[in-house]
């Protein structure tokens, strides 16, 4: 039995008090991963951005809204985790300054200055390596990457930069869909396996793969 920390869903980057940047992540894949992990006897904590899906009742759910909130909540849960699955799709960019109130409509349009948001899975992977474990095995970390045409080179560059153990690559057709197609690469950029189908079936295969890899 492992204690799995799972990040899920999108985050929001607010322009003002009512408008925000986000993406189409639905939380469906994370829900499927949580269900598969629970069915295998694992404990699951989900740190999730705003979604409409219902996560399994047996999982602990920590709701968040922004990328910074997701990172803070996940770091708080990390000391109790044996593994991390970064299935969330946090906003990569956020406004350099959040306006007070509501930005008025302007005929000339609006130019936004954006800055990079915190990298949640990279920060968690770095923190995991520094977390005292005693005789327990190191915390393992799995990243997810959505890439056009499931591009291996871009995904493996992220895997190296984020210092994770595995990366699961999908493509934009998976967004808010009941199905997905994934490929999994290890730290040497070798293909570990690939699956396609309904997210529940793919998630079950992924959790089994993680169990075998990190046993």
Strands 179-186 and 166-170: antiparallel
List the one residue out of 166, 149, 177, 178 whose CA is nearest residue 206.
Answer: 166
Residues in the chain: 215
Q: Is 178:172 a contact under the CB 8 Å cutoff?
A: no
Task: Give phi and psi for 158, each to the nearest 5.
Answer: -65, -40
Please give the full DSSP string across 127-154, using - where no structure is assigned: HHHHS--TTSPPPEEEEEEE-GGG-HHH
How is residue 143 written in tokens?
């990243």
- What is the distance between the alpha carbons of residues 82 and 89, in angstroms, rounded to a whole number? 21
Query: Would strands 60-63 and 13-14 be described as parallel, antiparallel, or unpaired?
Result: unpaired
Measure the CA–CA gap between 58 and 53, rounded to whole angstroms. 15
96: Cβ contacts below 8 Å, ≥ 6 apart: 113, 114, 115
Strand 93-95 and strand 114-116: the pairing is antiparallel
> Is residue 23 flagged as an active site residue?
yes
Q: Which of 3, 16, 22, 23 is catalytic?
A: 23
- Tokens at 153, concatenated: 């080179």
Residues with a catalytic annotation lie at: 23
């Amino acid at each position: 039995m492992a204690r799995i920390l799972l990040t899920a869903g999108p985050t929001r980057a607010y322009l003002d008090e009512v408008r925000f940047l986000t993406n189409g992540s639905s939380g469906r894949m994370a829900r499927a991963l949580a269900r598969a992990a629970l069915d295998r006897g694992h404990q699951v904590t989900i740190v999730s951005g705003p979604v409409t899906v219902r996560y399994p009742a047996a999982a602990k759910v920590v709701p968040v809204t922004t990328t910074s909130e997701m990172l803070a909540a996940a770091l708080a849960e990390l000391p109790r985790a044996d593994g991390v699955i970064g299935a969330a799709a946090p906003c990569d960019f956020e406004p350099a300054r959040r306006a007070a109130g509501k930005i008025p409509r302007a005929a000339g349009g609006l130019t936004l200055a954006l800055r990079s948001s915190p990298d949640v899975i990279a920060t968690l992977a770095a923190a995991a390596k520094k977390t005292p474990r005693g005789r327990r095995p190191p915390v393992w970390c799995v990243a997810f990457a959505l890439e056009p045409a499931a591009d291996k080179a871009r995904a493996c560059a992220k895997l190296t930069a984020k210092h994770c153990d595995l990366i699961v690559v999908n493509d934009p057709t998976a967004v808010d869909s009941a199905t997905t197609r994934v490929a999994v690469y290890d730290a040497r950029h070798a293909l570990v396996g690939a699956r396609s189908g309904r997210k529940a079936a793919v998630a079950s295969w992924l959790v089994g793969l993680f169990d075998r890899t990190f046993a």
